Amino acid sequence: MSLKSENIVLVVATLTSFFTVFLSSAVMVAVPSLAQEFGMSNIVQNWVTMLFFLAVAIFTIPAGQLSAKYGLKKAMVLGSIVYILSSIIAIFSINSEMFLLCRLVQGIGVSFLNVASMAMVVSAFEPQNRGKAIGINVTGVYLATSTSPVIGGFLNYHFGWKSIFLTSVPFLILILVLLIAKVNKEWITMGDVPIDWKGCIVYSLGILLFIYGFTRLSELTGVILTIVGIIVLSIFVMLELREKYPVFDVKFFKNPKFSSANFAALSAYLATFAVTTIVNYHLQYIRGYDSQMAGLILLVAPLIQVIMAPISGRLSDRINPQKLAGLGMFFGAISLAMLAMLDNDTSLVFLIAAMIFHGLGFGIFSSPNTNAIMSSVPPKDTSIASASVATMRVIGQTMSMGMLTLVFAFVMGDVPIVSQYFPLLIKSSQITCFICMVLCIASVFASLVGIRSKNRI
């Protein structure tokens, strides 16, 4: 493939990463406004974010096999259309149920975009340039994460939450046009392989039961659903071991480098994703800032990530990527230790310092960890590895929000977030950050485990 074609693929994939994350993250800043308009409790408003990522978690593994069979470009086109249509419908939501349903469908579209865009980048670039390309692609994610609180907060404050969707949809349509008109190659790596529908269904059911049950562990129903989910996922593993063409080849986890990097990613996202929501709640509820001001302060961490992601991506082509990933999560643990001390008297300088460490840590971690996973499998399996990267990310993100919701349920109960419950909100945030700090440390060790491992299956 020519350099020009490689660059086109990278531009389209990076723009896709940017705008899918931008729209998703910008909505998080508007959650208090959505909660007020639709009368959402503290538990329900967490589902605005969590339901989106739950859908991505459910559909990412099936999307990996479907993308490999029918083509990465086709998968991106399908994902873009679903995402655009659901975003348009969300604008016309008349109640919380309709809006949450749109978030669910958005997640289905993004599951295809996440898998196909990363696999396209990996397929287009030679191994010696892959880390750099991944770093640029990941920078699109961090750039969206950095700008979305600011722009989303500004739009929500001046024009309402619907303006976030109205602003984003034209850009999503432009990306779809570029994808169809400018990306001329199709990548099909498993064209003759039948779809493992049994595995798709069992996996989707298991992950749904597990994650939904996890968010309700404070109730007996939640405990039962979580246990049943684990059993169903165990059945999924047994089925895939016997399947000639599995939807996800679990044998990859016999490769220590692949398995350790995946576990590190799961722990990292589980530990860090709820941080944005915690800080956002602290700024808007405890400090009383409006969404515009909160968005400006939330800019700090992702701005550092934007700077660090391409640097760490390039370094991962020369230095063992798992060493870099371990270093990144060490800084992440420091940031969470600081955030665990947030209360009414915490200075803004202290909070910003914690966010700098958070941005530094995840900026160093993400690109090298992704490079470690993608480089540990044969070229023909890049779509499966890409699905694994996306799955670890979204399961970690969903469980992170689920953990926050679970702590809310134990400490606060199902109540609106008003001034009389602010002390309980602070306590809930502190407990969550402490748990996340422990998970960050686990991610450090998981990254270091795979350093001397060889790629083998």
CA distances (Å), 130 to each of 16, 280, 372, in order?
18, 35, 11
- Residue 395 reports pLDDT greater than 90: no
For the chain, give every domain's residue range. 3-195+247-449
Q: What average pLDDT does range 270-275 have in this prediction?
A: 85
Q: For the chain, what's the residue count?
A: 457
Q: What is the pLDDT of residue 453?
A: 60
Q: What is the pLDDT of residue 43?
A: 77
Q: How far apart are CA 407 and CA 413, in angstroms?
A: 9
Q: In this structure, is the dihedral angle defined by the CA atoms of residues 159, 163, 168 and 170, taken in order, positive or negative?
A: negative
- Residue 386 reports pLDDT greater than 80: no
Closest Cα to residue 62, out of 232, 209, 187, 201?
Answer: 201
Closest Cα to residue 148, out of 15, 50, 27?
Answer: 27
Q: What percent of the chain has pLDDT over 90?
A: 22
Q: What is the pLDDT of residue 451?
A: 66
Q: What angle do CA 430, 434, 437 make, to 5 degrees?
A: 140
pLDDT tens sequence across 104-129: 999 999 889 888 887 788 777 776 67
- Residue 3 reports pLDDT greater than 50: no
Q: What average pLDDT does range 48-60 have in this prediction?
A: 85
Q: What is the pLDDT of residue 227?
A: 94
The pLDDT mean for the chain works out to: 84
Q: How far apart are CA 6 and CA 182, in angstroms?
A: 11
First-to-last C-alpha distance (Å) of the chain? 29
- Residue 308 reports pLDDT greater than 70: yes
The CATH number assigned to the domain with range 3-195+247-449 reads 1.20.1250.20
CB 135 within 8 A of CB 12: no
- Residue 148 reports pLDDT greater than 50: yes
Q: How far apart are CA 106 and CA 231, in angstroms?
A: 28
* Cβ within 8 Å of residue 173, ≥6 positions away: 84
Q: What percent of the chain has pLDDT over 70?
A: 94
Q: What is the pLDDT of residue 2?
A: 45
pTM: 0.72
pLDDT tens sequence across 397-447: 778 888 888 898 889 887 778 788 899 999 999 999 999 999 899 888 888
Of the two residues 36 and 391, the one the predictor is more confident about is: 36
CB 309 within 8 A of CB 135: yes
